[in-house]
Amino acid sequence: MKLFRDPAALRHWQRQEGGSLAFVPTMGNLHEGHLSLVRLARSRADRVLASIYVNPLQFGPEEDFARYPRTPAEDLLKLRESGCHAVFLPEDAVMYQGDRADRCTILPPPGLAGGLCGAFRPGHFSGVCTVVLKLLHMATPDLLVLGEKDYQQYRILERMARDLDLPVHVLAGPTRREADGLALSSRNGLLPPELRPMAPLLAAQLRELATLPEGGEAREAASLGMQNLQDAGFKMDYLELCDSDSLAPLARIQPGARWLAAGRLGGVRLIDNMVVA
């Protein structure tokens, strides 16, 4: 497995190796969800490149950038064992030319980024779009592989690639979960031990909502679900039923729509989503 810190060396490797390249961007502290994306990428391309970069541009001033878990040695071992062919580990100076991060931003696609997480994390998706666009230019992959757990992010990046005519296909892998249903996330390890047993209630509530009959009133169901989670100790940001493509809120439950939710438990922000059967 090759390790790159310089974009020029990465591009040289890409030209020399040839063949199709799938790219899995991450912020490290890897878990089975990330590794499943690497395996999916291996099934779709000749080579797989992963990146590990905790992007400061997508964290707000009161968010958890400083304490976001960083485990590069363990991450590299996991990627090697999963069959990844190369890893890109850039420094801030490489990604943003020193202190220029706040002067180098890409606006996220309108309509997709204004609600849900975009309403509660101002500037977050500008940071996501900026870093992923820069990584795509550096890596020049044929395939960008993302996880469905961050569903709004996946749709935004898919739309960005289409709007900017980027020569990359965007593919989403399914959400991976713990045995108790909690969606795998690098932030799960930050949960206080005494609150960890409550965390799967977010997935359980979404699962219940996803089985409600077609035609039901979505806002009423969402309100009841929000109250259930708040009673259990969550500080909810949102719980909404949205169109799976446009992310527009829906008034009535319909097959193929998607329930999306975000809330804090013990100061740790958890997100999840489930599709209506």
Residue numbers annotated as active site: 34
How far is Cα 144 from Cα 131, in angstroms, rounded to an integer?
13
- The residue with tokens 């310089």 is 6
Hey, what are 255's tokens?
């097959």
Q: Where are the alpha helices (DSSP H) in 140-186?
A: 151-163
Query: Which pair of structure tokens corresponds to residue 201?
Result: 């209630």
CB 23 within 8 A of CB 11: no
Parallel, antiparallel, or unpaired: how do β-strands 143-147 and 21-26 relate? parallel
Residue found under tokens 């220029």: 100
First to last CA, the chain: 40
